[in-house]
Amino acid sequence: MSSNADLASRVDTSDEWIRTRTGIHQRHLADPGQMSSDLAHQAALQALSAAGIAAADLDLIIVATSTPDFIFPSTACVLQAKLGAARCPAFDVQAVCAGFVYALDIADKFIRSGAYKRALVVGTEVFSRILDWSDRGTCVLFGDGAGAVILAAADRPGVRASVLHADGSHAGILSTPGQLCGGKVTGDPFLRMDGQAVFKLAVRVLDEVARETLALCEMQPADVDWLIPHQANVRILDATAKKLGISPAKTIMTVDRHANTSAASIPLALDVAVRDGRIKAGDKVLLAGVGGGLTWGAVFVEI
């Protein structure tokens, strides 16, 4: 765990500056030897235990990550080997902070096709590896982590509706534009962000996609028991809930303890709220994410 005070010893910032602008109090940083698949493995084991199934029962593994272990093989395949879930299909999804809602939507459609019965969906990131620790505008915002869920075929649909979007014309406002070429890193290997542009777009598209998703099942924001937006910073969370007319009391926020963990942020927040008893069976939960690309989407689920 890294507190704001810890960061203040490395970069020109302060606990007060970070808290007042982002709502973040701390973040977790992976050890040097830990990779995205290691964090995903721990999250997957907890999800499997909660679901009461074994890894061998999985038909599909989808990992959402922007910080994979390797260029290839996929982090999903590495995770599959660690779980001992041989032979089931496994692949990564790269939609940055919207990655988990993308992966959840994909898994739901695979299950609805009838081809698969049980899917593991994981969001996992080690963003600390791509941060410029001299840039206080970005390094204070992010953390490492992983979260996972199990989807299973059932008579009653858990996923009620979902919508995904992307607009590549906004790629430049949030990116890590480095490359590997000839054994060397070329370009800029660090995360770069136009914070004001991201904020304006994020609040607008999260509101739009939430309403679009709810409309598919003839629901209104008032019908939502819990809103779990991507945990970017408290200003985006507050603004999104306000535009939707959803009470802060119904908005799950864990950005204070985890910071922005990209594809891991929504499943981490979901896990916290389920384990502390706020989210219960039968609750209607709206998950909404937005990330680099620009990518965004929402999934409306009944727990």
| Percentage of the chain modeled with pLDDT above 90 | 93
Catalytic residue among 4, 230, 233, 258: 230
Average pLDDT over residues 201-218: 97
Contacts of 42 (CB under 8 A, 6+ apart): 146
Give, as one character, the DSSP assignment of residue 248.
G
pLDDT at residue 64 greater than cutoff 90 = yes
Q: Look up the pTM and report it.
A: 0.97
> Whose CA is closest to 146, among 125, 163, 167, 118?
125
Catalytic residue among 4, 77, 88, 260: 260
CATH fold, domain 2-152, is: Peroxisomal Thiolase; Chain A, domain 1 (3.40.47)
pLDDT of residue 252: 98
Phi, psi of 122 (to 5 degrees): -125, 140
HEC readout, 58-120: CCEEEEECCCCCCCCCCHHHHHHHHHCCCCCCEEEECCHHHHHHHHHHHHHHHHHCCCCCEEE
Average pLDDT over residues 2-23: 90
Exposed / middle / buried, residue 9 (Cβ in 10 Å: 0-12, 13-18, 19+): exposed
pLDDT at residue 286 greater than cutoff 90 = yes
pLDDT of residue 165: 98
Task: Tell me if residue 97 is catalytic.
Answer: yes
**Token reading at 63:** 């990992």
Catalytic residue among 77, 88, 97, 139: 97
Give SS3 for 8.
helix
**CATH 3.40.47.10: which residues of the chain?**
2-152, 159-302
Task: Tell me if residue 260 is catalytic.
Answer: yes
**Token reading at 107:** 């898994």
CATH fold, domain 159-302, is: Peroxisomal Thiolase; Chain A, domain 1 (3.40.47)
pLDDT digits (tens, 9 = 90+) for 124-142: 999 999 999 999 999 999 9
Q: What mean pLDDT, rounded, does the chain reach?
A: 96
**Token reading at 24:** 């973040």
Average pLDDT over residues 74-90: 97
Handedness of CA 134, 135, 140, 143 (dihedral sign): negative
Average pLDDT over residues 241-251: 96
